[in-house]
Amino acid sequence: MSILIKGATILAMGGTHGAEPFTGDIHIVDDRIAAIGRNLQVAADTVIDGTDRLVMPGLVNAHLHSGEALYKGRYDNMPLEIWMLLAYPILGASALEERLIYLRTMLVGAESLRTGSTCLTDDVFEAPRQDIAKLGAVVQAYRDVGIRATVSGHVIDKNFLDTIPFAREMVPADLQAEVDANPTPTVDGYMAFAREAFDRFHGLDGRIRFMMAPSAPQRCTPELMLAVDAYARETKTPFHTHIVETKVQGVTGPVDYGKTLIAYMKDLGILHPGVTIAHSIWVTDADIAMMGEAGCSIVHNVISNQKLGAGIAPVRRLIDAGVNVALGSDGISTNDTPRMFDVMHAAGLIHKIGTADYGRWVTSTEVLHAATVAGAKSALIEHEVGHFAPGMKADMLVLDMRTANFTPRHDIRNHLVYAENGSSIEKVIVNGEIVVENGKCLKINEAALLAELRDLMPEFQARHTQTEAINWRFLESFHAIHKRCNAMDIGIHRLGTEPAFTSDAQESKGWPSNSWS
């Protein structure tokens, strides 16, 4: 099968044109881009008139937790450590049926596609434990809807109370005993699961990949972290983790390890280009330098971080240090949608308040780079997706530029970041196949699947309400931990992420350029 898009405005995000829009044609053969140019004289099964259309790479959601989709709209005004008591319960979680997992994932996959994400990294946590069949339900949903996805087996192999500073001091003994009675995964057990998951799912349909996802360095033993890293290197899959999302986690490194968590990772030998760190808010200048030297990635989850009151990642300093900065929605409870146009909009705005030095503000081109090229690099598939070039996978969006979002039309990049919300999307193409047209997912009956999920929700909500009550007994202790950690001075302040102006040697000269540099 082949598709020819003629006479479109193209934003390639790579190659000769980089992030400069130009007019041309794109020829797709099977699952890949065969040619890009002007007035291509080729035959095609489907010809799309590109007049007044923008064609750009599909957005890459580089950090997502689809498991939270069942809590969409349920929680508000809770910092992470309080919210996790309910969304990731320590006690009393009941296993979900595979059909509910499938529908939960489909909810995320369909909304992602319709709003412009052609590729996502889903860090799947399953309570009380994950198994191959449950992960298989996730994979099947993504296969059916037609999205490109990297999925994980999220793992924690330490007692939860030993992952939170001061918990052993502040949680009552009877509650500690209940938590201590819960078994934790073994290194051998998890690695056996990971190998089976890789063998079963990695490479399916040319769209599905598996990745290794130890939850966080303070939540996993060094033995597990090292085993995971070795296997990730062997299989050339991402090592995906969370580091210093909150002030509590910023305190964790100095209190529990006598060093920052980034320094702890470096000492373990697990800071390299295959590592992706979600969040990276409470990092020191020394941390940033280590991360840049290592060439690792971070995923900036700007909306989730705001909703949880977690802080603002120092994105400009991370970029300047050489860190690959991608964008993610994070979970569908701390963001409540996987919409990446919303994430781009927020990312474009929030970093204008960190410094008065407007030459260092994040540009719309940098935001688009983070949502495409950098996201693909984070997933270790930058040779396949994220920008346009002959031989790349054909993952792209076709947007109608006759909409209000592009009227009056000025800089296309500014329109995408500050005016577009996904409503101008006319077609979504993944792996050379049109999977969304005029707001409708073509491979599934989305309305029927949503109706089925709604029918199952009352029973799930009743179960989960009971689980919440069990875990709400930890509230007083965790409130005290949150308050104590946030009162501690660890030499990092994140309300304003930059000095007012850089030194004269670094200060930008002239009007800020809207180019990636």
Q: Give me the mean pLDDT over the 370-382 stretch.
A: 98
pLDDT (0 to 100) of residue 513: 38
Q: Is residue 196 part of a domain?
A: yes
Q: Is residue 141 part of a domain?
A: yes
Task: Give per-residue pLDDT as tens, 260-318.
Answer: 999 999 999 999 999 999 999 999 999 999 999 999 999 999 999 999 999 999 999 99
Domain that holds residue 154: 58-391
Average pLDDT taken over every residue of the chain: 95
Task: Give per-residue pLDDT as tens, 201-229.
Answer: 999 999 999 999 999 999 999 999 999 99
pLDDT (0 to 100) of residue 355: 87
Residue 435, CA atoms < 13 Å, CB-side half-sphere? 33
Percent residues over pLDDT 70 in the chain? 95
Q: How far is 126 from 155, CA to CA, in rounded Å?
A: 9
Task: Give per-residue pLDDT as tens, 153-180.
Answer: 999 999 999 999 999 999 999 999 999 9
Report residue 406: phi and psi, to 5°.
Answer: -115, 15
pLDDT band at 499 (very low <50, low <70, confident <90, very high): low
For the chain, the domain total comes to: 1
Q: Is residue 15 part of a domain?
A: no
**Mean pLDDT lowest for which of 33-47, 73-87, 500-514?**
500-514
Contact 398, 427 (CB under 8 A): yes
And the tokens for 327? 């964008």
What CATH number corresponds to the domain at position 193? 3.20.20.140
Per-residue CA distances from 326 to 10, 386, 433, 434 (Å): 22, 11, 25, 25
Q: 3-state DSSP call for residue 41? A: coil
Q: Is residue 81 part of a domain?
A: yes
Q: Is residue 412 part of a domain?
A: no
pTM for the full predicted model: 0.95
Task: Give per-residue pLDDT as tens, 388-403.
Answer: 999 999 999 999 999 9
Q: Give me the mean pLDDT over the 12-35 stretch.
A: 96
Q: Is residue 482 part of a domain?
A: no
Q: How far is 413 from 131, CA to CA, in rounded Å?
A: 43
Task: Give per-residue pLDDT as tens, 464-492.
Answer: 999 999 999 999 999 999 999 999 999 88
Q: Is residue 494 part of a domain?
A: no
Residue 8's DSSP bridge partners are 24
Q: How far is 272 from 295, CA to CA, in rounded Å?
A: 6
Checking if the pLDDT of 509 tops 50, the result is no
Task: Give per-residue pLDDT as tens, 55-96.
Answer: 999 999 999 999 999 999 999 999 999 999 999 999 999 999
pLDDT (0 to 100) of residue 504: 44
Checking if the pLDDT of 503 tops 70, the result is no
CA-based nearest residue to 495, from 311, 317, 315: 311
Q: Is residue 274 part of a domain?
A: yes
Q: What is the DSSP letter of 256?
A: I
